[in-house]
Amino acid sequence: MKHLTHFSEDERFLRDAARDFARQMIAPRVHAMDEAQKLDPDLVQAFFEQGLMGIEVPEKYDGAGGSFFMSILAIEEISKVDASTGVFMDVQNTLVNNAVIRWGNPDIHARFLPRLANSAVGAYALSEAGSGSDAFALRTKAVKKGDKYILDGSKLWITNGNEADLFLVFANLNPEAGYKGITAFVVERGMPGFTVGKKEHKLGIRASSTTELLFENCEVPVENVLGAEGIGYKVAIETLNEGRIGIGAQMIGIAQGAFDAALAYSKERRQFGKAISEFQGMQFNLAKLATSIETARLLVYQAARLKEAGEPFLKEAAMAKYYASDVAEQVTSAGVEIFGGYGYTTEYPAEKYYRDAKIGKIYEGTSFMQLQTIAKLLLS
């Protein structure tokens, strides 16, 4: 396994390219997108042009042919500037592409991977109104009829819902079998009986679309089953285990972005005749925040390296997401206070970082669920 802080030439190149892209292309649009609660369509296309939407997709399918760790580095860099675009590419890479690459057959690969790498935004549709932490209490059902499956039900809290062309949807083909009846389907926008419902208005990551999905006699061809009938729970669990590392990367990106802004401001803001960064109390505060961020980063990198090396990583992924989410909330809150009154206004970035950080403790497994996972693995 590679050392956590040793980057290969390819990893360093992608990290730097993502950093430049975030600063040059995303940063000028952040405030407007947050106000409009919508991603800039030109920016969506730019993500594909930069190769950031198919990092792990093999080159033969027009992807970058990169690694999982490279995806993590890119998500972190993008999220330093804007968490909405960070989760936009995170869901594409660590959930949708990841699941299609791992569980898709050659036909699925040939039909969908080039689209996901070049033009098609993906969404991951597991959650429902009655199945959040109890992820497999699904009520969306599938019935096989000839060469099609008929899906009925709804999904909630679906990231990228408005932008997506391809949706990885989980439905129960055999409710009597419980979670062993769950099957994963690739649903395409425009399929009969499928519609994207209302967009949620949220506290943070406002430019990221979070929508409901509606299925009324939705017809999905049999060749769009991902994996096989009845193993959807495996697809979901194993994909989310890796996706949590992506959310950890998003959180350390948010924390670092907030810290960098607060650090710079502390050198500019003068009180009692000197910069507030010259006061020992502020210096100690900054030192503690920087240490927490670096600790969270090492946890995220460790989980990513373990996953990449084929080693067990479930406990480390849970720890990374739990701790990074906690650190992001603490750092962004401190950032608002360092900015003082200005931190409470939209004129400065502190309040947006603070709003964006909160979701880390909620989606892709709440902090309580991460603690439960950690404890279970420690005691097993």
Cα gap 213→140, rounded to integer Å: 11
Cα gap 63→54, rounded to integer Å: 5
Contacts with 290 (C-beta within 8 Å, 6 or more apart), sequence order: 259
CA dist list (Å): 170 to 84, 101, 220: 24, 17, 12
One-character DSSP codes across 158-169: EETTTT-SEEEE
150 contacts 219 by C-beta, under 8 angstroms: yes
Contacts with 13 (C-beta within 8 Å, 6 or more apart), sequence order: none
**Both tokens of residue 50?**
């930069």
Contacts with 146 (C-beta within 8 Å, 6 or more apart), sequence order: none
* Angle formed at CA 127 by CA 125 and CA 128, multiple of 5 degrees: 115
96 contacts 40 by C-beta, under 8 angstroms: no
One-character DSSP codes across 109-162: HHHHHHHHHHT--EEEE--BTTBSSSTT----EEEEETTEEEEEEEEEEEETTT
- Active-site annotation holds for 364: yes
**Both tokens of residue 193?**
């009986």
Q: Which residues pair with 182 in a beta bridge?
A: 172
Contacts with 129 (C-beta within 8 Å, 6 or more apart), sequence order: 154, 156
Catalytic residue, from 56, 76, 212, 364: name it. Answer: 364
CB atoms < 10 A from the CB of 236, how many? 23
Enzyme catalytic residues = 364
